[in-house]
Amino acid sequence: MITHEELFIGGTWTTPSSPELLDIRSPHDNAVIGRAVQAQPADVDRAVAAARRAFDDGPWPHTSPAERIAVIRKLAALREERADEIAALISAENGSALWFTKAGQPSLTRQADAYLKAAEAFGWEETLEPSDPAAPFRSVVRREAIGVVAAIIPWNSPFSSASAKIIPALLAGNTVVLKVSPENTLSMNLLAELLADAGLPEGVISVLPADRETSEYLVEHADVDKIAFTGSTRAGRRIASLAGAQLKRVSLELGGKSAAIILPDADLDAAVRGLKFGSLLNNAESCIAQTRVLAPRSRYEEVVAGLKELIESLGVGDPADDGTFIGPMIRRDQQERVRGYIRTGIEEGARLVTGGPEVPAGLEAGNYVTPTLFADVDNSMRIAQEEIFGPVLVVIAYDDEDDAVRISNDSEYGLSGGVWSADPAHALAVARRVRTGTVTVNGAPIGFDGPFGGFKASGLGREYGAVGLGTYTEYKTITVPAAR
C-alpha cells in the first residue's frame, strides 16, 4: 500500500491544506492500492504564488537554453532509470495492459529527445535585416517564456501527457503548475520525485492531484499566464471560455472520433492487424483511436469478418497478465458510459457483430467492457459521431473514394485518422484530403518531431517538436539602429 500525505509544491514536499486521503483503486478489482492527499484551492494558491515568484524574481527564466536543456536531459535520464516502476504504477492505476505501459517507456524517451533536439536548434534570438538595405535599423527577434503555465492533463496516458507539456514549458523558461487526475496520483507523485532530483530552482514546478472544481480554480487564477490542457472537448470549451475572459494564452488537445479509410486495394490482413493497435491500444481509452472503420462496399463483409476475428481474439482481463490486450476501464462510471453506448448502438439499429453490453464473465468485480463491433452503421448514428473512449468499433460502408473522404470529414472532430492502401503514394494523396491534424498511412506510427493536435473541435494549437516548443514562448521584437 502506497500512502502520500504531502503535496509537491514549488519543488518541496509540503503539508496540504486538507489531510484527507483519497483511496486510489485498481480498475481490475476495485481494491485500494494506495491513498493520497488531494490539492484544494488553498494549495493551488500556494503553488501559483511559488511559480509566480520563481518566474518574476528567480533565475530560471534567465538561464541559458543550454542550462535548461541540461536539466531536462537529467530528468529524462532519471525517468529511464525507473521505467519499470513507472510502467507498473500506471498499469495498476489505469488498468492499461502492463506490456503496453512497458512498451511505452521508450516512446517517452523519443518524446523528450525530440523536444531537446528542437530546443538545441530553436531560434531563441535572431537578427533580421530590413527588406530595404538603406533602412537605418534592424530587428532583433526573441522567443521568451510566457510566464506561469497551468498544465492540466487527463488520466489515460499520464506520463506522456505530462511530458508533452512540462518539457517544452520548462525548456522555454516558464514555471509550471501541473494539475493531474486523482486516479494518477501514485504515478504522478513518482514524477514529482524525479522533478525534485532534476535540479530545478525553488518554485519552478508543482504537481497537484485534484478534482475538476480545483482544476477550474487553477484555470481562473489571475497569476496564471497560459493554460495547456488535454482532455474532453466539453471541458476544453469551458476552459477556452474562461481563458478568453482573461486573455490567457491557451492550447487545447481535445477529443477525437477518428476514421480509418480502408481503400479497395488494401491488404486486409495487414489493415486488421494494424487496427488492433490503431483502434484498440490502451483499452481504446485514447483520443487518437481510429474507431470508425470505413470499408468499400465491394469488400465490406470481408472487413467486418476480419475485425470480428480480431476482436474475438483479444485477451481481456487482468492488466498484469501477459495475455491481456484489453484491460478494464479506468472507473466504474466510465465502464457504464461505454456499456451505455453499446446499448445505444443496438437501439439505433446497427448490427451487433460481436460483443455487447454484458460484462465479461468472471470479471464482474472490475470495470470491464466486452470489446464490441458494430456493422451496418450510418455515420449519423451517435456511435459514429460521439467519442466513446472504450473498445467499441463501428464499420461504415462507402461507395467510392470521394464518399470515403466525405464520411471521414463528416465529424465535429479532427484529431487523427488513417488510410490503408497497397499504393502508399495514393494513400498519401487521400490523406491530404482528410481534415484532421494527424493521418497515418498503412499504420505508420505518430512521431514526436512533427506537430500534433487537432482541427475543429479536437483542439487549438500543437504539441511535439519545434512547433510544440514554440507554443510556450512569446515573440518580442527589439528594433536597433543599423551598424554604419
Reported as a single tens digit per residue, the pLDDT across 424-448 is 999 999 999 999 999 999 999 999 9
Percent of the chain past pLDDT 70, that is, above it, reads 100
The three cell numbers of residue 312 are 474475438
- pLDDT one-digit tens code per residue, 103-125: 999 999 999 999 999 999 999 99
- The pLDDT value given to residue 133: 82
Give pLDDT, residue 293.
Answer: 98
Q: What is the pLDDT of residue 21?
A: 98
Mean pLDDT across the chain: 97
Mind listing the pLDDT tens digit for each residue in 448-457?
999 999 999 9
Whole-prediction pTM value? 0.96
Asked if residue 220 is part of any domain, the answer here is yes
Distances (CA, A) of 438 to 100, 213, 273, 435, 447: 22, 32, 20, 9, 10
What's the rounded mean pLDDT across residues 216-228? 98
- Average pLDDT of span 175-194: 98
The answer on 266 and 226 residing in a single domain is: no
Average pLDDT rounded to a whole number, residues 170-190: 98
Query: In 3D, which of 219, 229, 221, 191 has the Cα closest to residue 207?
Result: 191
What's the pLDDT band for 484 if we cut at 50, 70, 90?
A: low
Q: Place 241 in a pLDDT band, splitting at 50, 70 and 90.
A: very high
Same structural domain, 141 and 283:
no
Q: Quick check: is 208 in a domain?
A: yes
Catalytic residues: 253, 287
Q: Is the pLDDT of residue 189 over 70?
A: yes
| Residue 64, Cβ density class (10 Å: 0-12 exposed, 13-18 middle, ≥19 buried) | exposed
Confidence of residue 403 (pLDDT cuts 50, 70, 90): very high
484 within domain boundaries: no
Whether 373 has a pLDDT exceeding 80, the answer reads yes
Q: Do residues 375 and 267 both lie within one domain?
A: yes
Element (H, E) at 280: helix 268-280
Q: Do 130 and 192 sit in the same domain of this protein? A: yes
Residues 104 and 122 both lie in one domain: yes
Q: How many domains does the chain have?
A: 2
Distance (Å) of CA 308 to CA 152, 161, 283, 372, 395: 37, 32, 17, 9, 11
Q: For cell 492550447, name the residue.
A: 251
Considering the domain boundaries, does residue 147 fall inside one?
A: yes
Q: Are 334 and 374 members of one domain? A: yes
pLDDT band at 1 (very low <50, low <70, confident <90, very high): confident
Same domain, 326 and 397: yes
CATH code, 90: 3.40.605.10
**How high is the pLDDT of residue 309?**
98
Q: Are both 284 and 213 inside the same structural domain?
A: no
pLDDT of residue 483: 72
Task: Tell whether 483 is covered by a domain.
Answer: no
Helical ranges in 36-147 per DSSP H:
41-56, 65-81, 83-94, 98-103, 105-121
pLDDT: is 129 or 175 the higher one? 175
Can you name the residues that pair with 477 across neighbouring β-strands? Answer: 141
Give tens-digit pLDDT for 126-170.
999 888 888 889 999 999 999 999 999 999 999 999 999 999 999
Q: Are residues 281 and 268 in the same domain?
A: yes
DSSP letter (8 states) at residue 61: G
Cell numbers linked to 287: 483520443
67 within domain boundaries = yes
For residues 314 and 402, membership in a common domain is answered with yes
Indicate if 56 and 72 belong to the same structural domain.
Answer: yes
Judge whether 376 lies within some domain: yes
Query: Are residue 162 and residue 249 in the same domain, yes or no?
Result: yes
* Spatial contact of 58 and 31, defined as CB atoms under 8 Å apart: no
User: Does residue 15 lie within any of the structural domains?
Assistant: yes
Give the closest residue to 413 by CA, choosing from 252, 242, 256.
Answer: 256
Residue 17: HSE in the Cβ half-sphere, 13 Å Cα cutoff: 13
What CATH number is given to the structural domain containing 363?
A: 3.40.309.10
- Domain of 371? 259-449
Q: Are 148 and 51 in contact (CB under 8 A)?
A: yes
- Residue 338: closest CA among 362, 372, 292, 309: 372
Q: Determine the Cα–Cα distance for residues 79 and 166; give it in Å rounded to an integer.
A: 14
| CA–CA gap between residue 46 and residue 8 (Å, rounded) | 11
Contact 457, 414 (CB under 8 A): yes
Q: What is the pLDDT of residue 135?
A: 84
How much of the chain exceeds pLDDT 90, in percent?
97
